[in-house]
Amino acid sequence: MSQDQFRVDSKIAIVTGAASGIGKATVEVLCERGATVVASDRDEATLNKVVAEFQAQGLKVSATVCDMSDPESVRNLVSSTKKAHGSVDIGVNCAGITGPLGKKAHEVDLADFDLTISINLRGAYVFSQELFKVMVPNKWGRIMHIASMAGKDGNPNMSPYNASKAGLIGIVKGMGKEYADTGVTINAIAPAVIRTNMIADQPDEVLKYTVSKIPMGRVGEPEEVAHTIAYACSPACSFTTGFVFDASGGRTVY
DSSP element (H, E) containing 141: strand 141-146
Which of 37, 74, 183, 159 lies closest to 110 in space, CA to CA? 159
- The Cβ of residue 241 has, within 10 Å, a number of other Cβ atoms equal to 23
Confidence of residue 49 (pLDDT cuts 50, 70, 90): very high
Backbone angles phi, psi at 91, to 5 degrees: -130, 120
Residue 119: partners with Cβ closer than 8 Å, 6 or more residues away: 68, 69, 95, 96, 97, 164
More confident residue, 252 or 185: 185
Quick one: pLDDT band at residue 254, thresholds 50, 70, 90?
A: confident
| Rounded mean pLDDT, 102-123 | 97
8-243: CATH topology is Rossmann fold (3.40.50)
Per residue in 190-202, pLDDT tens?
Answer: 999 898 876 766 6
Q: Considering 125, 161, 231, 254, which one is annotated as catalytic? A: 161
Sheet holding 244-247, edge to edge: 61-65, 36-41, 12-16, 90-93, 141-146, 184-191, 244-247
Question: Domain extents for the chain?
Answer: 8-243
List, for residues 54-112, the tens digit of each pLDDT value.
999 999 999 999 999 999 999 999 999 999 999 999 999 999 999 999 999 999 999 99
Residues 6+ apart with CB under 8 A from 62: 37, 38, 39, 51, 84
Residue 177 burial (C-beta neighbours within 10 Å; 0-12, 13-18, 19+)? exposed
Where does residue 181 rank: exposed (0-12), middle (13-18), buried (19+ CB within 10 A)? exposed
The mean of the pLDDT values for the chain is 95
pLDDT at 111: 98
203 confidence band (pLDDT: 50, 70, 90): confident
With cut-offs at 50, 70 and 90, classify the pLDDT of residue 3.
confident
pLDDT at 1: 59
- Can 161 be counted among the known catalytic residues? yes
Amino acid identity of residue 165, one-letter, is K
Who has greater pLDDT, 1 or 54? 54
Question: What is the number of residues in the chain?
Answer: 254
Radius of gyration of the chain (CA): 17
